[in-house]
Amino acid sequence: MSQPAIVPAPAHLRIAADAEPFGLPGAERDDAIAAALDTVEETVDADAALGAEGYRLTVDAFGLRAEAASEAGLFYARQTLTQLVAPSGDGWVVPAVAITDVPRFAYRGVMLDVARHFFPVETVEAYIDRAAALKFNALHLHLSDDQGWRIQIDSRPELTARASATAVGGDAGGFFTKDDYRRIVDYAASRHVIVVPEIDMPGHTHAVGLAYPELAEEPVLSDEILATAREYGGGTPTSGTPYEGIAVGFSSLKIHDEATYDFVSDVLGELAEMTPGPYLHIGGDEALGTDPADFALFVSRVSRMVSDLGKTPVAWHEAGTAADLSPDTVGQYWGFLTPTDGMDDKARAFVANGSQVIVSPADAIYLDMKYADDAPLGLTWANAPVTVERAYSWDPAALIDGIADDGILGVEAPMWAETLRTLDDIDHMAFPRIAAAAEAAWSPALGSTDLRTWESFRSRVGALGPLWTDAGIAFHASDEIPWVSE
């Protein structure tokens, strides 16, 4: 019997080679999947061994059975069952298997940047569908950056009136109304996904200065920023003028002005009220236009504001330099597989403070990195090109010395949108590397089982090609993967 197409790899899988598969009716794959989901016998029963999201799935000639301790566990069992449906002669089958599957990490996220280019609600919902099918349970929305502000805030109406209309390259912008945002939150929840909104501060705030110029410092134009502007276009950042380039690090809020914290309080307060999930992301990356001491003062104060709202603050790893950070602040490591410039020290500071980190190694699972030097989409700064094999062949607990599983909240695969304009663009950059991130987030340690290997992964992903095609996913048909044709 061929290897079943299961991504991520389950914690325990037994293929019953001597047992008959379960046959399914239907002329098309979608019909067979619908029949399998209608047929499966589901049981919700408290089981400490399965935790909050684990499941058991058993298939033989007599039926399909799923057990879980929660509706989320049953949802993930259905995703695996969907991936197992395979052609057989003129029909469809589910191979005879016994699976016990429990996630390694509690937080399994994807990030979508809607600031550099704006994407409508329908595109966000489609990305939620894709992520949930791979057992991700968090959508991090990057809602603000130098190029645009993307969320309605009633107490600060100028943000959407003056700072939402533009994007990279002079493209049209846009923003989510509060109803749009609630629709996204509800849609995500129906797929057992939480939304983690990010307002990136104190850098990446040029758009804030368009709406409220009294809060913004003058841009700091380093040689690197000027070189990026020359190479990629978009002009030089200028106060009061929308920024359409991709250089980073030049903007800052005024750290010692109480009006800044009034603004932050208004924005985070409304976001907290709209967001049922536990996290608010405050950014904190690439604040090169902010004095380091001022940066530490700002992220410490803002992290405590988030905690006071009853939410858990999340910040990029640079915030680990702040001595007075709220102790519950989760760090997000975006450094490299081999840390440089003290990136690992900053990440370790969150764990030393009693919290955890989310790992997002940029040169492995930043999904916007080019697959090849001549690829039309994506960027190259994170040691690109990034192959599918590199995206897979790393382990979260081996990434940063001194941070093992208990110091890791989870794994997140960001998708930055400087070069992306459509859902097809997102699909092309995400798939198949997003499946590698899903496996790092869900499955046991790299190399711990025969399934948790590059050879197993590439075979299993190759078998998903027809399923992704039928789902309308415009994946990158990497020549690293042995794709099947039906």
The rounded distance, in Å, linking the Cα atoms of 452 and 385 is 24
pLDDT of residue 48: 83
pLDDT of residue 17: 67
**CATH 3.20.20.80 residue window(s) in the chain:** 107-457
CA atoms within 13 A on the CB side of 193: 32
Does the annotation count 286 as an active-site position? yes
Nearest 5°: the CA angle 431, 440, 92 is 55
Of 265, 209, 196, 262, nearest in space to 239 by CA:
209
Q: Please say if the pLDDT value at position 6 is more than 90.
A: no
Mean pLDDT of the 307-322 span: 98
pTM for this structure?
0.97
Q: Name the strand (E) or helix (H) holding 305.
A: helix 292-308
Single-letter code of the amino acid located at 5 = A
Which of 42, 158, 286, 389 is labelled catalytic?
286
**pLDDT tens string 245-293:** 999 999 999 999 999 999 999 999 999 999 999 999 999 999 999 999 9
Is the CATH number 3.30.1360.40 carried by domain 12-101? no
Q: Cα-flanking dihedrals φ and ψ of residue 141, to 5°?
A: -100, 120
Tokens read off for 138: 């968090």
**pLDDT tens string 185-206:** 999 999 999 999 999 999 999 9
Residues in the chain: 486
Q: What is the band of 15 on the pLDDT scale with cuts at 50, 70, 90?
A: confident
According to DSSP, the β-strands at 107-113 and 86-88 are unpaired
Enter the DSSP assignment of 151: B
Q: Please say if the pLDDT value at position 219 is more than 60.
A: yes
pLDDT of residue 1: 34
Single-letter code of the amino acid located at 9 = A
Q: Please say if the pLDDT value at position 2 is more than 80.
A: no
Nearest 5°: the CA angle 247, 253, 256 is 145
**CATH 3.30.379.10 residue window(s) in the chain:** 12-101
Residue carrying the six token digits 């062949």: 393
**pLDDT tens string 345-392:** 999 999 999 999 999 999 999 999 999 999 999 999 999 999 999 999
**pLDDT tens string 102-149:** 999 999 999 999 999 999 999 999 999 999 999 999 999 999 999 999
Which regions of 322-389 does DSSP assign to beta strands (E)? 330-333, 357-359
pLDDT of residue 79: 97
Q: Cα-flanking dihedrals φ and ψ of residue 64, to 5°?
A: -120, 130
CA–centroid distance for 44 within its chain: 28
Tokens read off for 469: 């095609």
On average, the pLDDT of the chain sits at: 96
Q: What is the band of 18 on the pLDDT scale with cuts at 50, 70, 90?
A: confident
CATH topology of domain 107-457: TIM Barrel (3.20.20)
pLDDT of residue 4: 54
